[in-house]
Structure 1
Amino acid sequence: MPILISKIFPNLPADQSGQLHVGDAILSVNGKDLQHVSHEEAVQILKTAGKEVELEGSIYALILALVMSSISEITAKPSNPRFIFMSPESDPFVDSYMKTISRMSTKEIMNLPKLSDVEFLDQLERGYDFIPVSTKSLNSINLFDSTIDEPIEYQPDLENEWEDLMDAGPASINLLGSVMAIASRKDFPLKTDFNYTLVKYPESFQATLMQVSHDMYRALYGAHTSMESIQVSMRQIPTLLKTAIKLITQASTVLNKALLPRTLASIGRYANESAAVARASLERFEYLQVLLHEVLEVTTLTNSDNKETAEKLAAEAEDIRKEKKEMDNVIADITAQYETARKNLEKTRQDYHNAMKNVPGDGWDSHAWNVYASQRPAETCKRNWYGRRRCRSLRDQQFADYSAEAQQKAQQALNILKEAEKNSKNIYNQQMNKQNELESVINNLTTINLHELSINETIKILLDATKNIALLQGQWSRLSRFFSTLTINTEHTQKVILQDFLGVISDAELIGKPLDPIDETLFLVLLVESVTDIDRDSHLLFLMAKTYSDVSNAYMIEQIAELSGVLSLQNDDDRETYLKEVANKSRKISMQVKDLATDRQREYELVNFSRQEQYMKYIEEGMLQEELNILSNIEIGRR
């Protein structure tokens, strides 16, 4: 197996050469292959290679563009095409300050030193991010850490997104191109006794295909530019979120009143702009899909097989529209629930305030979390919600000693990881089946006899193209929904801070008293948890946008622009050449997806099982601890 570079020592030859980097893999040494030997054999080959060696390397990226960055701490770095991955250096959401904050207890955050206005503004301008917190309080192997466990749990679903994108995008273009190449042989009119709503040129099938290709270009190119715009907006959010955290944890009330509203407003603006862009792209895909279904409806009236397939696609499209309508209703309901929760916050705050008078300070944060949880609409906590997160604090309880509760929680985490492993295998098998189906369609293109091809067989290919467009439409529907909830969450946070937190500060100033520590704890928890949620959602959206843009650049934008010339092919030799080129391109992409998905599945299983082993070891040690305690009646803490 390849040698993975995990550390480069400074000022030594590897560092001085500048040719090796952390995350790279050595594939061969002086021509000797390391990929098909054991790790021990690879190390021995490297040791005996001499002082001057010729290395073949591969850039190993750290993060899959649809996987939360925190999983990178425990994953092996896969060697795969770079456009699907990005390094932590280029990921604006990979930030040690935010990572540390997310793992600190509320008590630790509350104990961060308050800074003078001059000192705070100076550190903010210089980007000074030092956090004076003892690392002893952080779990050394990060057990019970949801920033690690949740990405492992949900990674299979996210992997499926980019695999579907690499299938659907290029395939829809290549299949439509094939239809246009075949149709260039002979034009024919569509039915005259049909009620057309979107088809502009029913007297010509070729002109109708040109209309479809123009609208496909509009949808795909619009999606491409939308994702570029979304990336720009999402890149601004991490710094703003970090500023908000710094303000509420270390700045004076004067600076909070002056800077916090502006900071949160900027986050809200970027979220709103991205949501608007996503909705516009979704509408273009919806229009394209309706146009395609109208073309298919009129061209399949006389063929029972094609008609049945077209009707099935139409039913699926109707299901997508119904789902979108239902989700629009859910989002409207979420908005109303947030508004109700905010209106009730003052009473909740008073109840919390009264309750905490009889609770030690160490218990304030867990009760404050309950207040935050009560603000979250239940719908956004469901397993099938896009973003796929259980509503719980990243600051979940950590256990310094073995206990029945700790072992129970470890067993729950272990069960979730095992279920995720099973889910990953199912999704991987489904993806392989999709590739096999696509290869079958591709192989049919290479056996087409242009002299014997009927209109109905041409329409079959158009049906396959429509299936893939439907997949893209579904992705944009989910993306638009996700952006909507991000916007709602951001707006809710703005209102809580501007109308409630700053109002409490003003009330305290009016009576000449400092902010009550109980209120400070409550609003700190509300803001830190909200910012953490916004950070995770924004990061996922950024990674999705980055992946879409990279796949689009590599396989979609140039290809869709070339479709306009396909109808002008003059002879069957040119048409057959074009169809073979399309088949070869499609086959190559399919093989890349298969290889990439297989590599990712292998890496995922290693990561998941490694995490399972940590929990199994913890559970076994806990059982041993109980036996020792029973035998010796001595309380022994964790090693």
Structure 2
Amino acid sequence: MLFIDPTEDPFLDIYIEKVARMSTKAIIAMPKMSDTDFLDYLFSNKDSIDGVALRVDNSIFDHLRDDQLKQQTEIDKEWETLMISAPIIVGYMGNLMVLASKRDFPFQAPLGYVYRYIRYPNSFRATLAQVSSDMYNALMGAHTAMDRIQLAIQQVPTHVKTAMKLITSAGNAMLKSMLPRTLDSIGRLATESADIANSTLQRFNLLQEFLAEIIELSENTQGANEGAIYDMETKKNQSMLDQERLQNNLNTIQSQYNASKAALENARKKYAEAMQLVTDSSMPTIVGGQSDPLTDIIMLAIGVVFDPVGTIGCILGGCKNPEPVIDNTKFENAMKIAEQARKDLEEAEELHNKHFQQQLAEQNELAKAMGQMAMLDLSILSTEEIVRLLLEATQQISLIKEQWSRMIRFFSKLAAQAHSTQQIVVKDFVEVIQIAQTDNLLVDPIDREFFTEMLIPAATTIESGAHLLFTMAKTYYAVSSEHMIDQIAGISQLLTLQTDENIFC
């Protein structure tokens, strides 16, 4: 419960309470003062009612006290709402800032979407900084607005009392002179308070709509990211199949490469052997025209015996040996073998190079597929992190929106109370008196009694409504000073906390 020191409550006015309990006839019977006496009575702030016997009802059936108790019950409800909602909002905003400090990402808006309140759609973090700033401005605006309403409304009892004193005790000239200005002051204060309350309510409503837009786009972004995760998972599965296919191809090519490598080594070996054979066969074989000396001597001896003349002629140079014959068959065969070995070697080298290039290409494709899969894994993890952050952030924003709606209900009631008070002041009090003055109806005693009978209850209602408005404004100002303004002022600093260590320091 909000307790106001009676010495600080401008609505605890003994004069208004006395007049409100008096009958109309008793009020009319009050003696009228001269202008000098009335001014002295007014400015001395004397609340005594001389010459009138007051019958004060001290029973528990006091409708004024009952109204105050009813109002206090309503005030207690608003106090409880503020005491619960205000710190919760600050706490939720702190959690939201911490979440935003972990990761930044753009919103994903539907096609053709027009942003209403979000100024930084490419940055979730900047948008939450905007929320923090707008919330601070709204709360600070409400803080100063409630202070202004207090200052304005606390003047109402004085002006109402002045009007009642003019009606009950002033002469006609003084009544005509001072009452219009007093009524203008009451109307102006009531209208200003209503305008301030409406402006504050509008600012709170705008922030509520801003939060609703963030929730809407967060859910859309979450859906888009979940769709992206599904697409990336599909690509990942396809990439795994591609890797399996490439690995199988690589294994096959590897086997072919190993076989071609072995064939190449064998071809090189055979080619080397063939070339060695060519080298070994490079000296041709001589067939006929040459003989061994010992063989020649034996042959001469035999010739002398069987053909002495011919043999002696041959000895004397009369006959010649036949020309020698060169045999290149072995060399030619070696060359053929070497040529075939060279061709086989070239084919083996070509096949080996082909298999090597195929293996290299498949290895590159496999490495590329593995790299793409690694990137997909990172993208999936990154997007899943965004989805988790969005889910947590959306929950926090929804909770803030819920508590903020309670604040809006408070200001809606305050604005309604301000409007109601303003309407009563203007319609039921000011305009009635102005009409009465215009028609000189406050001069005639009978007419004056009639309008007094109408105006005294209106004055009491004004005071009661203004008191409720004053107390609500004072309640908010007290809670705001204690639990909101200082706490929300530095909350955006949490956006700069990049690590959990910083967060929990």
TM-score (norm 2): 0.64
What is the Cα deviation at residue 151 of structure 1? 3.0
Q: How has the CA–CA distance of structure 1 residues 197 and 560 changed in structure 2, closer, same or farther, with 3 Å as cutoff?
A: same
RMSD, aligned α-carbons: 2.2
What is the Cα deviation at residue 452 of structure 1? 12
Q: Once the two structures are superposed, what CA deviation does each residue of 1:492-545 show, in whole Å capped at 9, x if it has no partner?
A: 222211122442348xxxxxxxx4332121111122122111111111111111
For the Cα contact (< 8 Å) 1:257–1:502, is it kept in 2?
A: no
Structure 1 distance, partners of 2:85, 2:425, is 32
In the alignment, structure 1 residue 526 sits paired with structure 2 residue 454: yes
Say which SS state the counterpart of residue 102 (structure 2) adopts. Answer: coil
2:44 to 96, 106, 126: 126
**Cross-structure match for 1:637:** none
Q: Number of paired residues?
A: 341
For the Cα contact (< 8 Å) 2:30–2:168, is it kept in 1?
A: yes
What is the Cα deviation at residue 301 of structure 1? 3.5
Say which SS state the counterpart of residue 86 (structure 1) adopts. Answer: coil
Q: Describe how 1:181-200 pairs up with structure 2 within 5 A.
A: 181-193=98-110, 195=113, 196-200=115-119
- Deviates further, 205-214 or 110-119: 110-119
Q: Describe how 1:469-484 pairs up with structure 2 within 5 A.
A: 469-484=404-419
In the alignment, structure 1 residue 498 sits paired with structure 2 residue 434: yes
Q: Which has the higher contact order (CA 8 A, sep 6+)?
A: 2
What is the Cα deviation at residue 108 of structure 1? 2.1
**Cross-structure match for 1:30:** none
2:81 to 159, 164, 170: 164
Q: Describe how 1:180-579 pairs up with structure 2 within 5 A.
A: 180-193=97-110, 195=113, 196-301=115-220, 454-492=389-427, 493-505=429-441, 515-576=443-504
**Cross-structure match for 1:314:** none
What is the Cα deviation at residue 135 of structure 1? 6.6
What is the Cα deviation at residue 87 of structure 1? 0.3
Q: How has the CA–CA distance of structure 1 residues 216 and 279 changed in structure 2, closer, same or farther, with 3 Å as cutoff?
A: same
In the alignment, structure 1 residue 137 sits paired with structure 2 residue 72: no
Q: How has the CA–CA distance of structure 1 residues 523 and 468 changed in structure 2, closer, same or farther, with 3 Å as cutoff?
A: same
Q: How has the CA–CA distance of structure 1 residues 140 and 235 changed in structure 2, closer, same or farther, with 3 Å as cutoff?
A: closer
Code of the residue aligned with 1:520 in structure 2: it is R
Structure 1 distance, partners of 2:157, 2:218, is 51
Structure 1 distance, partners of 2:40, 2:14, is 20
Structure 2's unaligned 5+ residue stretches are: 224-384
Code of the residue aligned with 1:218 in structure 2: it is N
Structure 1 distance, partners of 2:119, 2:448, is 63
Q: Once the two structures are superposed, what CA deviation does each residue of 1:387-430 show, in whole Å capped at 9, x if it has no partner?
A: xxxxxxxxxxxxxxxxxxxxxxxxxxxxxxxxxxxxxxxxxxxx
Say which SS state the counterpart of residue 178 (structure 1) adopts. Answer: helix
For the Cα contact (< 8 Å) 1:292–1:466, is it kept in 2?
A: yes
Q: Once the two structures are superposed, what CA deviation does each residue of 1:54-106 show, in whole Å capped at 9, x if it has no partner?
A: xxxxxxxxxx5xxxxxxxxxxxxxxxxxxx32200011111111121122222
- Deviates further, 200-209 or 453-462: 453-462
Structure 1 distance, partners of 2:421, 2:204, is 22
Structure 1 distance, partners of 2:51, 2:490, is 58
Code of the residue aligned with 2:411 in structure 1: it is W
Structure 1 distance, partners of 2:177, 2:122, is 65
Code of the residue aligned with 1:553 in structure 2: it is S
Structure 2 distance, partners of 1:153, 1:281, is 26
Structure 1 distance, partners of 2:404, 2:98, is 19
TM-score (norm 1): 0.51
Code of the residue aligned with 1:469 in structure 2: it is W
What is the Cα deviation at residue 193 of structure 1? 3.1
Q: How has the CA–CA distance of structure 1 residues 263 and 164 changed in structure 2, closer, same or farther, with 3 Å as cutoff?
A: same
In the alignment, structure 1 residue 98 sits paired with structure 2 residue 16: yes
Q: How has the CA–CA distance of structure 1 residues 224 and 154 changed in structure 2, closer, same or farther, with 3 Å as cutoff?
A: closer
Say which SS state the counterpart of residue 118 (structure 2) adopts. Answer: coil
2:90 to 150, 173, 177: 173
For the Cα contact (< 8 Å) 2:109–2:220, is it kept in 1?
A: no
For the Cα contact (< 8 Å) 2:96–2:393, is it kept in 1?
A: yes
Structure 1 distance, partners of 2:35, 2:71, is 42
What is the Cα deviation at residue 480 of structure 1? 1.4
Structure 1 distance, partners of 2:221, 2:411, is 33
**Cross-structure match for 1:438:** none
Structure 2 distance, partners of 1:454, 1:290, is 22
Q: Once the two structures are superposed, what CA deviation does each residue of 1:253-300 show, in whole Å capped at 9, x if it has no partner?
A: 111100001101001111111111111111111110111000001112
Structure 2 distance, partners of 1:136, 1:229, is 37
Say which SS state the counterpart of residue 127 (structure 1) adopts. Answer: coil
What is the Cα deviation at residue 451 of structure 1? 13
Q: How has the CA–CA distance of structure 1 residues 565 and 292 changed in structure 2, closer, same or farther, with 3 Å as cutoff?
A: same
What is the Cα deviation at residue 158 of structure 1? 2.7
Q: Once the two structures are superposed, what CA deviation does each residue of 1:1-38 show, in whole Å capped at 9, x if it has no partner?
A: xxxxxxxxxxxxxxxxxxxxxxxxxxxxxxxxxxxxxx
Structure 2 distance, partners of 1:133, 1:575, is 73
Q: How has the CA–CA distance of structure 1 residues 156 and 94 changed in structure 2, closer, same or farther, with 3 Å as cutoff?
A: closer
Structure 1 distance, partners of 2:160, 2:109, is 59
Code of the residue aligned with 1:106 in structure 2: it is T
Structure 2 distance, partners of 1:240, 1:161, is 28
Q: Once the two structures are superposed, what CA deviation does each residue of 1:548-583 show, in whole Å capped at 9, x if it has no partner?
A: 111100010011111121101132023235xxxxxx
Q: How has the CA–CA distance of structure 1 residues 457 and 562 changed in structure 2, closer, same or farther, with 3 Å as cutoff?
A: same
Say which SS state the counterpart of residue 141 (structure 1) adopts. Answer: coil
Structure 1 distance, partners of 2:219, 2:502, is 28
Q: How has the CA–CA distance of structure 1 residues 564 and 250 changed in structure 2, closer, same or farther, with 3 Å as cutoff?
A: same
Structure 1 distance, partners of 2:421, 2:69, is 22
Code of the residue aligned with 2:197 in structure 1: it is A
Say which SS state the counterpart of residue 246 (structure 1) adopts. Answer: helix
For the Cα contact (< 8 Å) 1:187–1:206, is it kept in 2?
A: yes
What is the Cα deviation at residue 157 of structure 1? 3.0
Structure 2 distance, partners of 1:96, 1:122, is 19
What is the Cα deviation at residue 226 of structure 1? 0.4
Structure 2 distance, partners of 1:113, 1:268, is 28
- Deviates further, 123-132 or 543-552: 123-132
Code of the residue aligned with 2:475 in structure 1: it is T
Code of the residue aligned with 1:504 in structure 2: it is N
Code of the residue aligned with 1:300 in structure 2: it is E
Structure 1 distance, partners of 2:502, 2:387, is 17
For the Cα contact (< 8 Å) 2:146–2:477, is it kept in 1?
A: yes
**Cross-structure match for 1:26:** none
Structure 1 distance, partners of 2:6, 2:211, is 41
Structure 2 distance, partners of 1:154, 1:229, is 21
Code of the residue aligned with 1:239 in structure 2: it is T
Higher-helix-fraction structure? 2
Say which SS state the counterpart of residue 494 (structure 1) adopts. Answer: helix
Structure 2 distance, partners of 1:575, 1:188, is 20
